[in-house]
């Protein structure tokens, strides 16, 4: 088998894995996520072995990957030393952390998956828009679509009212928060063409509309704020841009004052549920053992606003402390922010990487109140940012520093 033939096998493996991750996030429809993940490493390994010269992996990426896996494994050990009883979900949750090894594969094979990921996410945006329009035209099919979505765990159509008056229809796809990536990508493509690449503009609008119609508050707010933020950060006329966009935001806020008040209303069911967790976390962290060592990844906890214990809540960053403890939790926070910091320290030629880093930053913000960060889709975005960062660093420094590289 020739090297080009092996490359042709590798790229479809990567694309198929990304597709399954996005369109079968719970892995209950096809059950192919793990087999395709393994296939990516097999085909990628064949490509690498046929390349001349040594294979090298940045030492800092190896350390990053090891820490990302060792921290949850240590927390599982803590759980069994302190408790060790069933039910327990730590080993199930560990699978997502092991997924970080995908970043090493992307760096070693020197492949940029941004375009392929954005194309698949764009297809999801089209599905969101299509489902939204379909339910507007044929509302009688709402129950059927809801049943299909619940069974497959891919999408959840809903009709929600935050103020008791205005009803929002949503065509929520589980992976819809990932649309921050194509928004950043197509914004970059359009702006780099000096606003002449109208096809990229069309794809940008589709991505924004898809995120907006997915319907969660996180999605809707980010669909409005993120494009504006990209314009401010990367505009070549920053002072004028800030003034113009600030005026636009004020006008939008005034026009949407009632909706924003409803979104942030602490008595609204979802908000009150999340706020209700705070007193429980305060009680959990009042135990120094929990605060310092954590309860262990996947440990169940009885929360006061629920009739049964949960192993995860929507308050992701408090869950990090509950799982890993304060010290290891802070390390995990620093690791999550590391690729953003490093991306913005790259030179002017890394504008795409900086756009993707902004998308990842917004994804981290969205994960304040949803549990999507330490899942296959959250880790996929992290792998994308890490791979883009290290591949870009390889371009900037063609001859690697031997002190910064581990040879395989």
pLDDT > 50? residue 157: yes
pLDDT > 70? residue 165: no
Q: What's the pLDDT score for residue 276? A: 87
For residues 258 and 83, give the distance between their C-alpha atoms in angstroms, rounded to a whole number. Answer: 48
CB-CB contact of 172 with 150 (8 Å) = no
Over residues 336-349, the mean pLDDT reads: 92
Of 45-54, 120-129, 356-365, 397-406, which range is least confident?
397-406
For residues 328 and 291, give the distance between their C-alpha atoms in angstroms, rounded to a whole number. Answer: 10
pLDDT > 80? residue 252: no
CB-CB contact of 18 with 120 (8 Å) = yes
- pLDDT averaged over every residue in the chain: 88
Cα distances from 343 to residues 39, 224, 340, 355, 395, in angstroms, run 30, 24, 5, 9, 14
User: What confidence tens digit (pLDDT) does each residue in 208-238 have?
Assistant: 999 999 988 889 999 999 998 898 888 776 6
pLDDT > 90? residue 140: yes
pLDDT > 90? residue 247: no
Residue 395: pLDDT band with limits 50, 70, 90:
low
Q: What's the pLDDT score for residue 7? A: 66
Q: What's the pLDDT score for residue 4? A: 55
Q: Torsion angle of alpha carbons 269, 272, 273, 276, nearest 10°?
A: -160
3-state SS, residue 383: helix
pLDDT > 90? residue 298: yes
Buried/exposed code over 349-365 (b: 16+ C-beta within 10 A; e: otherwise): ebebbbbbbbbbbbbbe
Q: What's the pLDDT score for residue 2? A: 46
Q: Is 261 exposed, middle or buried (0-12, 13-18, 19+ CB in 10 A)?
A: exposed
Q: What's the pLDDT score for residue 239? A: 74
Q: What's the pLDDT score for residue 283? A: 94
Q: What's the pLDDT score for residue 84? A: 82
Residue 163: pLDDT band with limits 50, 70, 90:
low
CB-CB contact of 155 with 98 (8 Å) = no
Residue 407: pLDDT band with limits 50, 70, 90:
very low
Cα distances from 332 to residues 70, 92, 317, 319, in angstroms, run 11, 19, 10, 12
Over residues 13-23, the mean pLDDT reads: 96
The secondary structure of 223-276 as a DSSP string is HHHHHHHHHHHH-SSHHHHHHHHHHHHHHHHHHTHHHHHHHT-TTSHHHHHHHH
Q: What's the pLDDT score for residue 405? A: 44
According to DSSP H, which parts of 138-194 are helical?
142-152, 180-192
Instruction: Extract the runs of DSSP E, i.e. beta strands, from 31-101.
Output: 56-58
Of 81-90, 107-116, 134-143, which range is least confident?
81-90
Question: Which tokens is 271 given?
Answer: 């908000």
> Percentage of residues in the chain with pLDDT exceeding 90?
65
End-to-end CA distance of the chain: 23
Q: What's the pLDDT score for residue 344? A: 93
Range picked from 71-80, 84-93, 191-200 for highest mean pLDDT: 71-80
The enclosing H or E element of 156 equals: strand 155-161
Q: What's the pLDDT score for residue 297? A: 94
Tell me whether strands 405-407 and 56-58 are parallel, antiparallel or unpaired. Answer: antiparallel
Output phi, psi for 389, to 5 deg.
Answer: -65, -50
Strand partners, 159: 169
Pick the more confident residue, 255 or 360: 360
């Amino acid at each position: 088998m020739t090297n080009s033939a092996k490359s042709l096998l590798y790229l479809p493996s990567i694309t198929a894995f990304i597709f399954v991750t996005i369109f079968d996030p719970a892995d209950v429809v096809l059950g192919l996520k793990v087999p395709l993940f393994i296939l990516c490493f097999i085909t990628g390994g064949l490509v690498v072995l046929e390349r001349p010269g040594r294979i090298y992996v940045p030492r800092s990426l190896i350390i990053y990957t090891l820490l990302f896996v060792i921290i949850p494994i240590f927390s599982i050990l803590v759980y069994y030393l302190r408790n060790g009883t069933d039910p327990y979900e730590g080993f199930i949750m560990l699978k997502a952390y092991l997924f970080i090894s995908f970043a090493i594969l992307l760096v070693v094979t020197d492949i940029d998956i941004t375009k392929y990921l954005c194309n698949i996410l764009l297809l999801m945006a089209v599905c969101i828009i299509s489902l939204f329009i379909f339910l507007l035209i044929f509302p009688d099919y709402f129950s059927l679509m809801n049943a299909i979505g619940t069974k497959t765990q891919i999408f959840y159509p809903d009709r929600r009212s935050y103020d008791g008056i205005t009803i929002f229809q949503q065509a929520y796809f589980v992976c819809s928060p990932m649309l921050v990536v194509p928004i950043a990508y197509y914004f970059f493509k359009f702006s780099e063409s000096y606003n002449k690449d109208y096809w990229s503009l069309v794809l940008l609008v589709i991505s924004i509309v898809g995120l907006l119609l997915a319907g969660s508050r996180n999605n809707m707010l980010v669909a409005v704020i993120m494009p504006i933020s990209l314009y401010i950060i990367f505009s070549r006329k920053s002072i004028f841009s800030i003034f113009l966009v600030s005026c636009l935001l004020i006008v939008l806020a005034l026009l949407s004052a009632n909706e924003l008040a409803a979104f942030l209303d602490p008595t609204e069911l979802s908000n009150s549920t999340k706020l209700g967790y705070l007193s429980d976390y305060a009680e959990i962290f009042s135990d120094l053992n929990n605060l310092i060592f954590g309860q262990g990844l996947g440990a169940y906890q009885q929360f006061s606003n629920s009739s049964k214990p949960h192993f995860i809540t929507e308050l992701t960053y408090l869950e990090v402390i509950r799982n890993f403890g304060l010290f290891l939790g802070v390390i995990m926070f620093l690791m999550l922010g590391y690729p953003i910091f490093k991306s913005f320290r790259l030179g002017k030629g890394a504008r795409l990487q900086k756009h993707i880093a902004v998308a990842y930053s917004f994804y981290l913000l969205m994960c304040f109140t949803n549990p999507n960060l330490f899942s296959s889709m959250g880790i996929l975005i992290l792998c994308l940012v890490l791979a883009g960062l290290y591949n870009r660093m390889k371009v900037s420094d063609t001859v690697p520093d031997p002190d910064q590289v581990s040879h395989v």
